């Protein structure tokens, strides 16, 4: 078990909640003071730039605890959209917390720099977590997310995988291939089980490939088993 310091952003000022509501995928204005929600920041193409837990202390103070990624990068990128909004964005301090298999087994993904701007929210189960709103006003990527929600057509999902063998954890973004060597998906995050040393991961997979034999690219690991689909 290792310890990680989560990346934290603080948004403060008279327009903090309004600014966050306009930028992020969930409904910040409907969130009561003292409550939190899963939320995400998307690109104009609907790809996930950051996934985080947003705590609303009140309308003038929000705390974002990132699930992977780089708070300094996000602060700099968000600052480009402040314009005349009365909001200050600062990198906060994250308390140490243990990294375990619990998040993988609960289907709580992280979006590190390796996967930034690559994945639609539905591909990693953010709709299941309630992190996206398809009914609030415009935000970056909203049109793409809403179209996929209302018209259907999503063909990828978040899956939990298990395998044995291999000395190192696969990096986020490592491809998974089917028995025809075609890419079937990507690793999102991985961890080793303390009890017997097997490895587990969250991956975004093509639903059509989930029942086929899968193999990690450039790995001596054995066949990868799909344990669970998060839907």
Which range is least confidently modeled, 72-76, 176-180, 185-189?
A: 176-180
Rounded CA gap, 131 and 53, in Å? 9
Which residue, 151, 181, 199, sits at the end of a domain?
151
pTM: 0.85
Is residue 127 within 8 A of residue 119, CB to CB? The reply is no
Describe the chain by its helix, strand, coil percentages, rounded to 5: 20, 35, 45
Same domain, 102 and 168: no
Section 16-24 average pLDDT = 97
Q: Per the structure, how many domains does the chain have?
A: 2
Same domain, 97 and 211: no
Same domain, 105 and 188: no
Q: CATH number, domain at 103?
A: 3.30.1360.120
Higher pLDDT, 178 or 28: 28
Q: Which residue range forms the structural domain that includes residue 192?
A: 156-230
Which residue, 130, 151, 172, sits at the end of a domain?
151
Answer whether residue 181 shows pLDDT above 70: yes
Section 166-176 average pLDDT = 86
Mean pLDDT of the chain: 90
Answer whether residue 1 shows pLDDT above 50: no
Question: Which helix (H) or strand (E) element contains residue 106?
Answer: helix 102-106
Nearest to 59 by CA among 21, 23, 30, 17: 17
pLDDT at residue 137, rounded to an integer: 80
Rounded CA gap, 185 and 206, in Å? 6
pLDDT band for position 227 (50/70/90)? very high
């Amino acid at each position: 078990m290792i310890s990680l310091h989560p990346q934290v952003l603080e948004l403060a000022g008279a327009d903090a909640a309004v600014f966050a509501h306009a930028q992020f995928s969930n409904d910040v204005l409907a969130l009561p003071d003292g409550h939190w929600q899963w939320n995400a920041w998307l690109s104009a193409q609907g790809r996930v730039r950051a996934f985080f837990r947003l705590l609303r202390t009140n309308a003038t103070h929000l705390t974002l605890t990132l699930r992977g990624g780089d708070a300094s990068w996000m602060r700099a990128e968000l600052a480009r959209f402040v314009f005349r909004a009365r909001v200050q964005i600062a990198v906060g301090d994250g308390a140490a917390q243990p990294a375990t298999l619990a998040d993988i087994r609960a289907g709580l993904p992280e979006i590190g720099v390796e996967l930034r701007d690559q994945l639609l929210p539905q591909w990693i189960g953010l709709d299941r977590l309630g992190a996206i709103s398809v009914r609030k006003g415009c935000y970056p990527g909203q049109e793409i997310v809403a179209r996929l929600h209302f018209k259907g057509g999503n063909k990828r999902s978040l899956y939990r995988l298990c395998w044995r063998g291999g000395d190192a954890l696969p990096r986020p973004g490592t491809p998974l291939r089917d028995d025809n060597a075609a890419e079937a998906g990507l690793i999102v995050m991985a961890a080793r089980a303390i009890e017997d040393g097997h490895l587990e991961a969250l991956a975004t997979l093509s639903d059509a490939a989930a029942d086929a034999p899968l193999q990690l690219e450039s790995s001596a690991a054995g066949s990868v088993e799909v344990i669970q689909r998060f839907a």
